[in-house]
Amino acid sequence: MGNKNKKQTKAREPVKLRYKELSNGNQSIYLDCYSNGKREYEFLKLYLIPETSIENKEANKATLKLANA
């Protein structure tokens, strides 16, 4: 009989890409860095715009490609 209440620990990623909603409807892309019990944020000065047209969608795709590089 095994212990069914055993918690599985999830491995933390030290760096995550996150998004912050801005007042004008755009989203700012930033890095959420966690190391040695400290959390730091690094804003990339990259922005996603609302996808109201094909051009905006293509621009967002290029921006995300830059952010993930």
Residues in the chain: 69
Q: Say which amino acid occupies 2.
A: G
Q: What is the pLDDT of residues 18-46, one digit of tens each?
A: 999 999 999 999 999 998 889 999 999 99
Instruction: Sheet containing 27-35: give its strands across.
Output: 15-21, 27-35, 38-48
Domain coordinates of the chain in residue numbers?
Answer: 15-68
* Cα-trace Rg, the chain: 17
Q: Is the pLDDT of residue 10 over 80?
A: no
Q: Say which amino acid occupies 40.
A: E
pTM: 0.74
pLDDT at 50: 94
